[in-house]
Amino acid sequence: MSTVDTVRGPVPLDQLGPTLIHEHLIMISAEFEKFYPELAWSLPREEVVDKVAAALQEVRERGITTILDCTAFFHGRDMEFVKEVNDRVDMNIIVSSGIYTFDFLPYNVSHRPSDPVEKDMLTRMFVRDITVGVGDSGVKAQSIKVATDLAGITPNNERILRAAASASAQTGAPITVHTHPADQLGPSIQKILSEYGADLTKVVIGHSGDTSDLDYLRGLMDAGSMAGFDRFGLYMPGTATLEERLDTVATLCGEGYADRIGLSHDAVLYSDWSPPGAALKRFPTWVPTHISDVVVPGLRARGVADAQIDTMMVSAPASLFDSIRR
Ligand SMILES: [Zn+2]
């Protein structure tokens, strides 16, 4: 049985259990944290660790045993924080490599060659996180998170996608792409990733659940990828409502797509992006227990069988990690 590296070490894939495929324990700017800690932390750090651990414990009590944390470079990774939280909660936490930017690249990347892609600094960063570990934490990332948003597939964005594909081809680690589904760029992203060596069955087209366009969603899954219904609870204006998302997932399960669907919230348990509590005030359902408490019962009410829920929450997420080389 293959294993996946978690914060606490390797875990056999058949022991991951119910998994949320896209969450964030903490997003805090490393430079901000280093130079302006009193501004970065709105509460003493220890209190934040306790709060995040308590939030995760509630998730654990619903029977969720694994979380894929999609926080990438530039997104505010703090591996010591994640380890401290994991010491308090009995869960498998898998962490990510990748880079969170829609277009901008810093000079120390943009002034260096992107060709050949295997030697691109971005590729080397991603491979290093996966094969050596994130910084000196001793924790190996097992997934690559990148992002294409409103700016579209710009030259910088294409470079990032190519590097992710190359790193995935070298390591077998899956890729999660943050997308803006209204722009329907999923197929173009899949084309680039595939051209540069990624296996599309190990690619999650993230935030796909923001749309209810069934033909678009079927196309992503027919090409082999997982569609991320990974923003349950975050019902932003202009995106699908809870009811619409439940209807879409139920319809696709009825058509046999359960093994190409991943469920999650994209919840952020602590961030320096906004004052504490501000996001929850705006989106009261954006909590990491929403799937267990509301979404799963809603899917059952629409006739989705327990076996299909198990497929979406257990076997489909585990299969993302079955090609990682050691
Ligand atoms: Zn995210």
Q: Give per-residue pLDDT as tens, 129-166.
A: 999 999 999 999 999 999 999 999 999 999 999 999 99
CA of 159 to the centre of ligand 1 (A): 20
Alpha-carbon distance of 97 to 77, in angstroms, equals 9
CA of 264 to the centre of ligand 1 (A): 10
- Number of Cβ atoms within 10 Å of the Cβ of 29: 17
CA of 299 to the centre of ligand 1 (A): 23
CA of 230 to the centre of ligand 1 (A): 8
Please determine, for residue 65, whether its predicted confidence score (pLDDT) is greater than 90.
yes
CA of 205 to the centre of ligand 1 (A): 12
CA of 228 to the centre of ligand 1 (A): 11
Q: How confident is the model at residue 276 (pLDDT cuts 50, 70, 90)?
A: confident
Alpha-carbon distance of 53 to 32, in angstroms, equals 23
CA of 170 to the centre of ligand 1 (A): 24
Please determine, for residue 292, whether its predicted confidence score (pLDDT) is greater than 90.
yes
CA of 163 to the centre of ligand 1 (A): 19
- Phi, psi angle pair for 145, to nearest 5°: -110, 125
Alpha carbon distance, N-terminus to C-terminus of the chain = 13
CA of 151 to the centre of ligand 1 (A): 17
CA of 70 to the centre of ligand 1 (A): 6
One-letter amino acid for residue 165 of the chain: A
pLDDT the model gives residue 275: 86
CA of 141 to the centre of ligand 1 (A): 16
Alpha-carbon distance of 66 to 6, in angstroms, equals 9
CA of 177 to the centre of ligand 1 (A): 9
- Could you give the percent of the chain with pLDDT greater than 70? 100
Strand-strand pairing, 3-6 and 9-12: antiparallel
- Phi, psi angle pair for 99, to nearest 5°: -145, 135
Listed residues: CB within 5 A of ion ligand 1: 70, 266
Instruction: Give the Cα-Cα-Cα angle 242, 243, 247 (nearest 5 degrees).
Output: 120
CA of 22 to the centre of ligand 1 (A): 6
- Say what angle helices 155-171 and 121-131 make with each other, to 10 degrees: 30
CA of 24 to the centre of ligand 1 (A): 7
CA of 219 to the centre of ligand 1 (A): 22
pLDDT the model gives residue 42: 87
CA of 266 to the centre of ligand 1 (A): 5
CA of 216 to the centre of ligand 1 (A): 21
Please determine, for residue 1, whether its predicted confidence score (pLDDT) is greater than 80.
no
> What does the block give as tokens for 225?
């990828």
pLDDT the model gives residue 96: 98
CA of 71 to the centre of ligand 1 (A): 7
Q: pLDDT digits over 78-136, tens only?
A: 999 999 999 999 999 999 999 999 999 999 999 999 999 999 999 999 999 999 999 99
CA of 255 to the centre of ligand 1 (A): 27
146 membership: H or E segment, kind and range: strand 143-147
Residue listed under structure tokens 């190996």: 140
Q: pLDDT digits over 203-254, tens only?
A: 999 999 999 999 999 999 999 999 999 999 999 999 999 999 999 999 999 9
DSSP calls for 177-209? EE--GGG--HHHHHHHHHHTT--GGGEEEETGG
Alpha-carbon distance of 156 to 101, in angstroms, equals 10
Please determine, for residue 269, whether its predicted confidence score (pLDDT) is greater than 80.
yes
- Number of Cβ atoms within 10 Å of the Cβ of 76: 23
What pTM does this model have? 0.98
Q: Which residues contact 323 (CB under 8 A, 6 or more apart)?
A: 172, 199, 202
pLDDT the model gives residue 16: 98
Looking at residues 24-52, what average pLDDT do you find?
Answer: 93
CB 295 within 8 A of CB 49: no
Architecture of domain 3-319: Alpha-Beta Barrel (3.20)
